[in-house]
């Protein structure tokens, strides 16, 4: 049912469409300033070919003679239509070069052919798509299978005598390394293959497309214009009016004699290349991150210090320890803030950095979401612990009681300590004493020597409590801060890639629209195509073409002037 | 307390309006289309939009942070985003098939958020330390906007698939029955179509080319545009998330399940965009990919939180009274 025109409308304007774009020989292409840009379409022979279409078109010679109007300031020097022969000579010279070199060295040509074949294979779209599908599937699998467990876990979960789904045993998981999917050779290899495909596609498909899109092509064949995805003809109209209207709509317009070429959103045509390059940047940065970074984590009680180099472990072969690793970090203070409901709202660590000479080089209070950065090292607040409890017993002390973390299901933490009330010796191993439990640094729950609940005390309250005849005063609760440290040389590259990717994906939303028009007597034939927003394009075109004023009485003149010109 | 009452009132207004709008849609579907009802359903959508916006703003003011801290709020935001998507073409005053998808989506999301979740989950939750960042607003709103956009786009593709397959089915059916009848039938349709488009040409001189598009082609083109937009938003959302993760968790990428699934979603829609560059795959095949994407988005958005694994399991299915 679709009419031929609608069939054309669904035709894709896709990256490879540039192959269809080069004009048929009859329309003499305007040589632009970049003559070295080569094109597959035979250009020189075009002169001898018959003029395309049933419609009489204006020969190039005539158009040369006519005045040229370039509407746009930044237009290329279209006003220098060089002799056609000159152009073809340059063409020939370029096309002959590779063959000469090829015959000179057989091995080199073989290598070149092999490279070409590899490139063609890699830039193959179905291959790239299947790579992406496989990677997506592997990633999904990586979230389904528990990652990073000990082999015994997999032996137990995927037993050989009772396979999951009848065939999946631990061999299926451990052999390809699916227990650590995101660092398994299969996965990384596929990513590398995808990167290779990206590069090959950029090189073989996208870059040539730029060359084609970059030249403005006028067409002198009404037939070709009519064959565009969008085509219309305006009776009694002037191509100049159309040009002005298109300019008003943001098009860059070039006219040459009776023909017009206009385009908009060229950046949308280039942006996918940027997307690919940005992806490559991110991949390169991630590779550097994986091979050249240091990581470490440390649990430091308040008031103590550590040397950065002691906790950092290299993660890859390229990890080189920087000088700042001899910096000493001192935890001045660790504290938490709480909501009214008693839940933790934020963790803070007041850190000071000292260099080898013992001079303080930096001091900052870090919190979650606000790390410290110094000389390529980033220190994150990630965890917390309860290091010790300062307790006075009957006015003696204070004693520092070390807190131990008790095993508990779930995310909640629980710490406990024990204050013995009698000396322990060999004859009396089961010492009785006071137990103290704490969920956070705010409140301590105390139990007497029979294990009965006695009361709750806040470390800040300075309120003593009487247990089994002893007066216990909790002086202070000392927390410990859990810090993560890292150096990552890949981050700047990855961030550059991120920025480029955001920008280029946004620009990719633009569609590259091209419009050709030809003054054919008193009628203007308009045709155009776009690579993305097809519906919007035809709507916009209809709206714009409606604005083109209808010339009354002037049509005779146009025909006259034309006939004299030809 | 004042805010709680206000939120309560707004929720009830939007929910009752939605019930009315759903009824109107059902009447339109089952009985027949009434001009007056259509207008009132549009008015209902606007009422809902304002009450949702009011709800989100009052949440923001009362809790002091961007209202995207739990599943309920994010669903409400998703429905709000769908409404925005519904409105954009309306502002541009361009005719399209998008509203057929966005209206029910808005309604269903809103309805599910209000009635499908437990009342305890409606409460605003406090922010855990890791979420206290300006990135929350940027990352989560971008992600939800992209989910809304991609869901619409993939639903358009799914609609395209359904129409295509039904057509094929009819075609085979008729072929078996009577070839002669079929040819006659088709030529008649062609004739009717030509006549109608000629008619349209005269009545709508502004869009002669517009009606050359078949419904499927229009759907295809719209879903492509919408998915491209969603893909851009998804890219930005993921990248914002990566930058945030580098501030909060110590690495820009942790292969956390939610991250991974967001990346899978991204990959699927990248495949969609690439598959469209091949003329042979355009249409049915790419629509199939987009329909897979629809499922993937739901796994990413809901499934991961349902399982409660990884670093992203914030305030989703944890009840306050635990």
Report whether A562 contacts A521 (CB < 8 A).
yes
If pLDDT is split at 50, 70 and 90, which confidence band does B293 have? very high
Residue owning tokens 């699934």 = B261
Listed as ranges, residues in chain A with pLDDT below 50 are 1-102, 555-556, 558-566
| A368:B129 CB<8 A | yes
Instruction: Give how far Cα B188 sits from Cα of A254, B12, B174, B215, Å.
Output: 45, 52, 15, 18
The token duo for B89 is 């073409």
If pLDDT is split at 50, 70 and 90, which confidence band does B231 have? very high
* Number of neighbours of residue A89 by Cβ within 10 angstroms: 13
Q: Does A398 sit behind a cis peptide bond, omega within 30 degrees of 0 on the bond before it? A: yes
Which H or E element spans position B262?
helix B257-275
Per-residue pLDDT, averaged over B175-190, amounts to 43
CATH architecture for the domain at A217-265+511-566: 2-Layer Sandwich (3.30)
pLDDT for A135 equals 93
Nearest to B89 by CA among B239, B225, B181: B225
Report whether A426 contacts A459 (CB < 8 A).
no
pTM for the structure as a whole:
0.78
How close B128 gets to chain A, by Cα (Å)? 6
> Angle A420-A422-A427 (CA atoms, 0-180°, nearest 5)?
115
CA dist B141 and B118 (Å) reads 23
Contacting residues of A for B222, CB less than 8 Å apart: 535
Helix (H, G, I), strand (E, B) or coil at A366: strand
Helix (H, G, I), strand (E, B) or coil at A138: helix
Per-residue pLDDT, averaged over B288-312, amounts to 83
DSSP conformation letters of A306-351: EEHHHH-EE-STT----GGGG-EEEEEEEEEEE-TTS-EEEEEEEE
Instruction: Give how far Cα B105 sits from Cα of B77, B81, B100, B155, B303, Å.
Output: 13, 10, 9, 10, 19
Report whether B290 contacts B227 (CB < 8 A).
yes
| A491:B252 CB<8 A | yes
The token duo for B151 is 């869901």
CA dist B224 and A360 (Å) reads 58
The token duo for B191 is 């004739």
Per-residue pLDDT, averaged over B304-311, amounts to 70
Nearest CA in chain A to B127: A345
A495 touches chain B (CB under 8 A): yes
If pLDDT is split at 50, 70 and 90, which confidence band does B254 have? confident
Tell me the three-class secondary structure of A69-118, residue by residue: CECCCCCCCCCCCCCHHHHHHHHHHHHHHHHHHHHHCHHHHHHHHHHHHH
| A369:B252 CB<8 A | no
CA dist A198 and A506 (Å) reads 19
CA dist A52 and A37 (Å) reads 25
Per-residue pLDDT, averaged over B82-98, amounts to 74
- Residues 103..142 of B with a Cβ closer than 8 Å to A: which? 126-130, 132-133, 135
Report whether B79 contacts B109 (CB < 8 A).
yes
If pLDDT is split at 50, 70 and 90, which confidence band does B310 have? low
pLDDT for B34 equals 67
Per-residue pLDDT, averaged over B220-224, amounts to 87
Side-chain-side CA neighbours of A368 within 13 Å: the count stands at: 21
B1 touches chain A (CB under 8 A): no
DSSP conformation letters of A185-226: HHHHHHHHHHHHHHHHHIIIIIHHHHHHHHS------HHHHH
pLDDT in tens, A63-115: 333 333 344 434 343 433 333 333 333 333 334 444 444 456 788 888 888 88
- Residues 228..257 of A with a Cβ closer than 8 Å to B: which? 230, 232
- Residues 128..157 of A with a Cβ closer than 8 Å to B: which? 128-129, 132-133, 135-136, 139-140, 142-143, 147
Q: How do the domains of chain B map onto residue ranges? A: 1-92+103-117, 166-210
CA dist A180 and A150 (Å) reads 10
CA dist A160 and A118 (Å) reads 41
Best probe of the A interface among B93, B149, B233, B251, by most A CBs < 10 A, is B251
Contacting residues of A for B127, CB less than 8 Å apart: 345
Q: How do the domains of chain A map onto residue ranges? A: 113-204, 217-265+511-566, 294-420+433-487
Residue owning tokens 């299978």 = A145
- Residues 213..232 of B with a Cβ closer than 8 Å to A: which? 213-214, 217-218, 220-222, 224-225, 228-229, 231-232
Report whether A87 contacts A35 (CB < 8 A).
yes
What mean pLDDT, rounded, does chain A reach? Answer: 76
Task: Flag the least confident range among A487-496, B74-83, B98-107.
Answer: B98-107
Report whether A498 contacts B240 (CB < 8 A).
no
* Helices (H), ranges, A429-526: 491-508
CA dist A98 and A100 (Å) reads 5
| Residues in contact with B177: Cβ distance below 8 Å, sequence separation at least 6, in sequence order | none
CA dist A379 and A381 (Å) reads 7
Q: Percent of chain B at pLDDT above 90?
A: 19
Nearest CA in chain A to B275: A129
CA dist A38 and A212 (Å) reads 9
Side-chain-side CA neighbours of A304 within 13 Å: the count stands at: 15
The token duo for A560 is 């006259």
| Residues in contact with A155: Cβ distance below 8 Å, sequence separation at least 6, in sequence order | A170
How close B206 gets to chain A, by Cα (Å)? 6
Tell me the backbone φ, ψ of residue B111, rounded to 5 degrees. Answer: -60, -45
Lay out the sheet containing A305-307: strands in order across: A305-307, A328-338, A344-354, A360-367
What mean pLDDT, rounded, does chain B reach? Answer: 77
A183 touches chain B (CB under 8 A): no
CB-based contacts of B293-298 (< 8 A; 24+ apart in sequence): B293/B150, B293/B154, B293/B227, B293/B265, B293/B268, B293/B269, B294/B151, B294/B154, B294/B155, B294/B157, B294/B158, B296/B261, B296/B264, B296/B265, B296/B268, B297/B147, B297/B150, B297/B151, B297/B154, B297/B265
Task: Give burial (CB, 10 Å; 0-12/13-18/19+) of A204.
Answer: middle
Instruction: Give how far Cα A444 sits from Cα of A346, A394, A403, Å.
Output: 20, 18, 11
* Number of neighbours of residue A533 by Cβ within 10 angstroms: 21
Higher local confidence (pLDDT), A410 or B60: B60
Which H or E element spans position A475?
strand A470-487
Decide if pLDDT at B251 tops 50: yes
Lay out the sheet containing A453-457: strands in order across: A404-405, A415-420, A433-438, A444-447, A453-457
pLDDT for A424 equals 57
Tell me the three-class secondary structure of B195-234, residue by residue: HHHHHHHHHCCCCCCHHHCCHHHHHHHHHHHHHHHHHHHH
CA dist A326 and A44 (Å) reads 71
Give all strands (DSSP E) within A355-450, no chain letters.
360-367, 372-374, 377-393, 396-402, 404-405, 415-420, 433-438, 444-447
Instruction: Give how far Cα A322 sits from Cα of A294, A374, A377, B81, Å.
Output: 10, 12, 9, 47
Report whether A272 contacts A14 (CB < 8 A).
no
Helix (H, G, I), strand (E, B) or coil at B138: helix
């Amino acid at each position: 049912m679709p009419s031929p025109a609608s069939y054309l409308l669904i035709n894709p304007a896709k990256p490879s469409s540039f192959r269809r774009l080069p004009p048929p020989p009859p329309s003499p292409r305007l040589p632009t300033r970049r003559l070295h840009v080569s094109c597959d379409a035979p250009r020189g022979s075009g002169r001898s070919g018959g003029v395309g279409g049933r419609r009489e078109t204006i020969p190039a010679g005539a158009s040369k003679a006519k005045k040229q109007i370039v509407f746009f300031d930044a237009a290329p020097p279209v006003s220098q239509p060089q002799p056609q022969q000159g152009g073809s000579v340059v063409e020939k010279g370029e096309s002959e070069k590779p063959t000469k070199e090829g015959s000179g060295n057989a091995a080199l040509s073989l290598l070149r052919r092999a490279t070409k074949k590899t490139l063609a294979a890699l830039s193959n779209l179905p291959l790239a798509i299947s790579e992406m599908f496989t990677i997506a599937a592997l990633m999904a699998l990586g979230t389904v299978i528990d990652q990073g467990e000990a082999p015994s876990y997999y032996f137990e979960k995927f037993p050989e005598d009772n396979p999951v789904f009848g065939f999946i045993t631990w061999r299926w998981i451990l052999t390809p390394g699916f227990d650590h999917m995101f660092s398994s050779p299969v996965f990384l290899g596929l990513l590398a293959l995808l990167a290779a495909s990206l590069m090959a596609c950029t090189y073989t498909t996208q870059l040539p497309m730029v060359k084609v899109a970059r030249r403005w092509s006028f067409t002198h064949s009404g037939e070709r214009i009519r064959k565009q995805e969008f085509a219309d003809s305006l009776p009694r109209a002037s191509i100049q009016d159309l040009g002005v209207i298109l300019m008003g709509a943001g098009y860059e317009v070039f006219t040459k004699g009776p023909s017009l070429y206009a385009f908009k959103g060229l950046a949308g045509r280039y942006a996918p290349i940027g997307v690919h390059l940005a992806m490559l940047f991110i991949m390169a940065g991630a590779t550097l991150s994986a091979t050249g970074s240091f990581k470490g984590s440390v649990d430091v009680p308040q008031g103590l210090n550590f040397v950065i180099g002691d906790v950092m472990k290299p993660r890859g072969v390229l990890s080189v320890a920087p000088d700042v690793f001899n910096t000493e970090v001192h935890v001045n203070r660790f504290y938490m803030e709480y909501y009214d409901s008693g839940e933790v709202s934020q963790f803070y660590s007041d850190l000071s950095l000292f260099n080898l000479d013992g001079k303080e080089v930096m001091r900052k209070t870090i919190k979650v979401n606000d790390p410290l950065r110094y000389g390529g090292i980033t220190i994150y607040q990630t965890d917390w612990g309860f290091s010790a409890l300062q307790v006075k017993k009957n006015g003696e002390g204070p004693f520092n009681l070390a807190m131990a973390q008790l095993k508990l299901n779930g995310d909640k933490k629980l710490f406990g300590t024990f204050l013995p009330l009698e000396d322990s010796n060999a004859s009396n191993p089961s010492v009785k004493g006071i137990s103290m439990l704490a969920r956070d640094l705010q409140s301590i729950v105390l139990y007497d020597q029979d294990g009965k609940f006695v009361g709750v005390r806040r470390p800040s309250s300075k309120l003593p409590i009487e247990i089994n005849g002893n007066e216990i005063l909790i002086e202070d609760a000392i927390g410990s801060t859990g810090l993560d440290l890292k150096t990552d040389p890949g981050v700047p590259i990855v961030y550059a890639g991120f920025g480029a990717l955001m920008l280029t994906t946004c620009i990719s939303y633009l569609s590259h629209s091209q419009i050709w028009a030809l003054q054919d007597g008193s009628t203007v034939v308009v045709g155009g195509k776009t690579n993305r927003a097809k519906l919007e394009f035809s709507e916009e075109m209809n709206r714009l073409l409606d604005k083109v004023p209808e010339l009354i009485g002037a049509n005779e003149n146009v025909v006259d002037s034309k006939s004299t010109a030809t | 307390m004042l805010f709680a009452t206000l939120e309560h009132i707004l929720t009830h207004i939007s929910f009752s309006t939605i019930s009315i709008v759903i009824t109107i849609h059902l009447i339109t579907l089952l009985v027949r289309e009434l001009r007056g009802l259509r207008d009132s359903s549009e008015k209902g959508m606007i009422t809902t939009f304002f009450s949702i916006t009011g709800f989100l703003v009052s949440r923001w003011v009362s809790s002091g942070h961007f209202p995207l801290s739990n599943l309920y709020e994010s669903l409400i935001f998703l429905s709000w985003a769908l409404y925005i998507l519904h409105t954009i073409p309306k502002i541009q005053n361009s005719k399209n098939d998008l509203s057929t998808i966005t209206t029910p989506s808005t309604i269903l999301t809103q309805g599910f958020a209000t009635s499908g979740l437990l009342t305890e989950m409606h409460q605003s939750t406090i922010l855990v330390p890791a979420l206290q960042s300006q990135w929350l607003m940027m990352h989560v709103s971008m992600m939800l906007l992209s989910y809304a956009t991609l869901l619409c786009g993939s639903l358009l593709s799914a609609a395209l698939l359904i129409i295509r397959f039904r057509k094929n089915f009819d075609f085979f059916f008729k072929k078996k029955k009577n070839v002669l009848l079929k040819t006659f039938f088709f030529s008649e349709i062609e004739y009717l179509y030509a006549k109608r488009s000629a008619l349209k040409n005269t009545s709508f001189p502004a869009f002669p080319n517009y009606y050359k598009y078949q419904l499927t082609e229009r759907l295809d083109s719209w879903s492509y545009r919408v998915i491209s937009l969603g893909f851009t938003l998804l890219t930005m959302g993921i990248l914002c998330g990566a930058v945030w993760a580098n501030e909060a968790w110590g690495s820009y990428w942790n292969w956390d399940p939610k991250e991974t699934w967001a990346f899978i979603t991204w990959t699927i829609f990248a495949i969609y965009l690439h598959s469209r560059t091949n003329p042979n795959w355009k249409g049915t095949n790419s629509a199939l990919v987009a329909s897979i994407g629809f499922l993937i988005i739901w796994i990413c958005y809901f499934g991961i939180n349902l399982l409660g694994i990884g670093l992203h399991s914030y305030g989703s299915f944890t009840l306050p009274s635990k």
